[in-house]
A and B are shown apart, each in its own frame.
Chain A
Amino acid sequence: MQNPYKPYPVRIRRIIIENDTRDLKTFELVFLNKEDEECFRYTPGQFAELSVYGAGESPIGIASSPTEKGFIKFTVKKMGVVTTALHNMEEGQVIGIRGPYGNWYPFHLMEGKDIVVIGGGFAFTTLRSAIVYMLHGENRKRFGKITCIYGARNAGELIYKPELKEWEERSDIDMYVTVDKLNGDPWPAREGFVPAVTKEIAPSSENSICLVCGPQIMIKFTIPVLTELGFPPDRIINSLEMRMKCGIGKCGRCNIGNRYVCKDGPIFSLAQLNEMPDEY
C-alpha cells in the first residue's frame, strides 16, 4: 500500500529572493528519484505539502507549470515554523514534498473562452502556474484572449518581476501590472488598487472566465467590480487558503461546511462559495 504521508525527497536547485522585504522566496526543486517525478503529476491550481524534517510540513500552492519540465517551484512567505525553516535553507539541501493535492483551475470550462487573471500580492503563485500553462505552445490556442491584472503594494513586492516584464512584451497576453503607490521606481508605470484597475480596464465578461487570487480585502472589493462587468458567480474562480495538516481530507480542520478545502478545493467558483457557509 502506498503511504500518502511519505514525502518524496527533492533537492533545492535554486532559491530566488522575490521581494524587497525578503520574506518571499521561490524554491526550485528537483526530484531525487525519477519515479517520484513521474508520480507527481499536477495541474495548475494544485498544492503540495512541503516538508522540512524537524520543522514539519506546510501546504503551499505550486507556482510552476507542468509544462516546465525537470523541476517544480514554490514561492513561500516566511510566516511560521516551517516556512521560516525553509527560508533558512540553502541551495543543494534536500527537503520533502508530498502531493499534488486538491483540485485545479477549471481548464475544461476555460477552454474556448477569454481568460481574465486577477492577482494581488504574493497570492500570484498558482495564477502564474496557470498563465505559464496557457501560454505554452499548443495550449495557447485552446484559450481566447488572456488578460492579466496583477498588483502589489509597491514595485519591490511584485513577484516574478522578470517574467512579468517579459509577458508585457508578448502579444498573446495583455498585462496590467499595478502598484498601490508609485514611488519613483522605473517600473511599473501604473498606480492603483487592483479593483480600481479592473474597473478601468473593464475586461469583457462575454464568453469569459475570471481567476481571482489575492488578499481577502482585494477579493472583497474586486468581486463587486466583476459582478458589475457581468461575470456570473460560476465564472469567477477563487483559490482559498486554510490551515491544513494532512492535505488528504482526513485530519478534519480545513472544512468549510461539508467541503474539505484540501480535497474538494482549494479552487472554488464564487457560485460554490455562495452556497458554502461563511467560515473561512
Chain B
Amino acid sequence: MEIVERIREEARKALEEKKVELIIGFEEGSLPLRTTPAFIKSIDAVERLIWNATCENNLANYLLRLKIKGKVGIVAKGCDARSIINAIKERQIERDMVFIIGVPCTGMVDRKGIKERFDEAEILEAIEVNGQIKVKGERFEGSFNISDFLYDSCKTCTQKTPSLYDVIVGDEVKEREDVDEFREIREFEKKSPDERWAYFTREIESCIRCYACRNVCPLCYCKECFIDQSRPQWFGRSIDESDRMIFHIIRVFHTAGRCVDCGACERACPMGIDLRKLTKKVEKDVVELYNYKAGIDLETVPPLATYKEDDPQEFIK
C-alpha cells in the first residue's frame, strides 16, 4: 500500500475510534510544488490527506501554536518528530496527548532550487513520479531527480525515519552515515571575522522583520517574545541594522541545543536569508561542546537543562 493510503487509513482509524480530535497532515496546495497543512476533523475529510516530496512544513509547530483541547493526531517526518520530542522534553505538550503517524522521509524538494533552473519562467505544473519531479511551463519541460534537488537541511539530515511515533507508515529509510553535516560551517569558520561579519550583514540587510522565521519555528513558543517586550523594551522596532541583527542573533541563541535543523525558518523567509548558517553553527557548537543533538530521544537531558562539573566553560572568560 502506498504511504498516502496508509496515512489515510491510520487517520481514519484514529478519528473513528475517537482517539483524536483532529489530524494535522498535508493536503494539495494551490501552487505547483506546494502542499499545505491540513486540519482533518471528520472521516469524510481524510481523503484530503496526501503525501509527497513537497510536504515541507514542520507540522509540530501547530501542536504548540494552536490551543487544541484533546488529543491530536499528527503526520510527522523525521524532523517533525524531533521537534515533537523537543516539545515533550520542554514540557510544552504531553506525550499521551499526541498521536504520531510517523512517515519515513526521503527528503523534501527545494522548490526554489528547481525554479532557479528556469530563470524567470513560471512553473505551471509539477508532478512527482518515482523519485522524479516532472515540471512543465509554457515553453519548457523538465524532469529532475528529487534526490538532486533536496533542501540543504534534508541533504544533511540524519534522522529521516521518525524516532518517536505511535504508528509508522512506510519502510524505514536508511540513515546516511557518511554525511558531513557541518562541512559548510567549518568552511565558513575558516573565514576571517570581518568576512563573516560582512556576510552576515549582507544577509540581514534584506530582513523585513516579518517574523516568519520565528513564527514557523516549533521552538518559538514563548508567550511573549523578547523582541515584542515593551517593559523594558530591549530593541527598536525599526529596520535599523543593529536591531535586525540582534533579533537574529538572540533568536538563534534561543535555539541552542534545541534546534533540530528542520530548515523551516529558512524556507519561510520571503527574502531568502541564509538563516541556517546561524542555526547550524550553534548546533555544531552544542554537538562539539556537549555532544548533544536535539530531539533524538526523550531521555537525554538537554545541556541547557543540566550542569556537569566538567562542562566546557572557556566562553565565560
Contact = CB atoms under 8 A, between A and B. Distances in A.
Contacts of B230: 80-81
Main secondary structure of the interface of B (DSSP, over half): loop
Interface string B205-230: 00000000000000000000000001
A208 to B, nearest CB: 43
Contacts of A80: 230-231
Interface string A63-83: 000000000000000001100
A80 B230 CA distance: 9
Contacts of A81: 230-231, 233
A80 B231 CA distance: 8
A55 to B, nearest CB: 10
Contacts, number: 5
Nearest to B233: A81
B63 to A, nearest CB: 28
Nearest to B230: A81
Interface in A74-107: 80-81
A185 B257 CA distance: 60
Nearest to A84: B231
Nearest to B231: A81
A232 B2 CA distance: 65
A70 B118 CA distance: 71
A175 to B, nearest CB: 39
A272 B230 CA distance: 34
A30 B231 CA distance: 30
A142 B186 CA distance: 83
Contacts of B231: 80-81
A210 B68 CA distance: 43
Interface in B231-271: 231, 233
A86 to B, nearest CB: 15
A26 to B, nearest CB: 24
Nearest to B232: A81
A197 B249 CA distance: 58
B1 to A, nearest CB: 48
B48 to A, nearest CB: 31
Contacts of B233: 81
A50 to B, nearest CB: 17
A152 B240 CA distance: 46
A135 B231 CA distance: 42
A81 B231 CA distance: 7
A77 to B, nearest CB: 15
A53 to B, nearest CB: 15
B101 to A, nearest CB: 37
A200 B231 CA distance: 44
B203 to A, nearest CB: 30
Interface string B191-212: 0000000000000000000000
A279 to B, nearest CB: 19
A81 B230 CA distance: 8
B234 to A, nearest CB: 13
A101 B3 CA distance: 61
Interface string A39-55: 00000000000000000
Interface string B114-152: 000000000000000000000000000000000000000
Interface of A: 80-81
5 contacts: A80-B230, A80-B231, A81-B230, A81-B231, A81-B233
Interface of B: 230-231, 233
* 5 A-B pairs with the lowest CB-CB distances in the bound complex, closest first: A81-B230, A81-B231, A80-B230, A80-B231, A81-B233
